[in-house]
Amino acid sequence: MCFGPVHALDDGTVEPRAQRVANVMSPIEGPHVVTGITAPFQAVTLGAVVPGRIMRVLVEEGQAVGQGDLLVVLDDRGQRVRTELAKAEADSDLRVRQARLVMDFADRELKRLSDLFGDDFAAAKETRDARLLAEERRLEFAIAEFDLAQAKRLYERERVLLEQLSIRSPFDGFVRELLLHEGETVNEREGVIKVVQVDPLEIVLDCPLSSAEFATVGRRLTIHASDARWGRRVATLTYAAKTADAASQTLRVKMRLPNPEGRWIAGLKVYVDLAEQVEPDKTAGGSTQGEQASRGSEQNEMGSPQ
């Protein structure tokens, strides 16, 4: 790879032009300044649980979506009919009512015969038959209740199968990419659409061990974008690895950066001075000095990306 013209350093070594340009563009300097990249807080590829043909795609690439929004529908006409039939069975208690009516009649008939004949031996057989019939009717009623409960469970199964033919967003975010389109067939577990969440953003840093003492969870730090037009933001350190990478002698560190307006994008190179913690400004209603400076910087940058 060619870096173009080189630059002689004080110790006589040569610095590639690309490295020299990167150093000039760094918005902050210091012994504990590290670089990182903003990334989506969540990035998922949504696929079909069952194979089928894509009937409708309801979103476009770059479109904002909310949690639970319907994104893609597979051909669900046959399954929708099966679900409606199962629902009709689950909602109908006609067999239970019929079985209860027959059972109650048999119980009344048994009581009538028992009251009429009492211990009369001559009528014993008739009474035993009535008792047996009443018991049979009670079993039929229990079976009818069981069948209704089974119908409700079968309906729930068909309803779940119907839902599996629809793809919904698991969180608030944006459609990153459509992998398949209307009319195309999709296999089981095949990816159909990619969705990302960019509020908040996650920042991943490789922290040198010389700065590891500042990598403490909960620490609030000012994030500087590589391009000043993006301004500054305040992020919270959420993760610091307990083991270092032996080759690079660095720790993996993650930070969470609120991005409610979606102005910052994933993939943006940023800088942070781990030694400069943002302290709350008690005179400003709980907001921090860094956050106030960030807002002021963004408002003063007329050319900020929108």
Residue 137 C-alpha from the chain's centroid: 51
Task: Tell me if the bond preceding 200 is cis, omega within 30° of 0.
Answer: yes
When mean pLDDT is compared across 12-26, 33-47, 218-232, the lowest value belongs to 12-26
CB atoms within 10 A of CB 28: 12
Residue 203 φ/ψ, nearest 5 degrees? -115, 130
Q: What tokens were used for 234? A: 């305040």
Task: Give per-residue pLDDT as tens, 145-181.
Answer: 999 999 999 999 999 999 999 999 999 999 999 999 9
Q: What tokens were used for 31? A: 């012994």
Q: How far apart are CA 70 and CA 205, in angstroms?
A: 35
Q: Which pLDDT value is given to residue 293?
A: 46
**pLDDT for 20 beyond 60:** no
Q: How far apart are CA 11 and CA 33, in angstroms?
A: 23
- What mean pLDDT comes out for the span 27-56? 92
**pLDDT for 283 beyond 60:** no
- What mean pLDDT comes out for the span 194-198? 96
Q: Where are the beta strands (DSSP E) in the chain?
A: 6-8, 14-16, 33-47, 52-57, 64-65, 70-74, 166-168, 173-178, 185-186, 191-208, 220-225, 232-240, 250-257, 269-277
Contact 255, 205 (CB under 8 A): yes
Contact 118, 112 (CB under 8 A): no
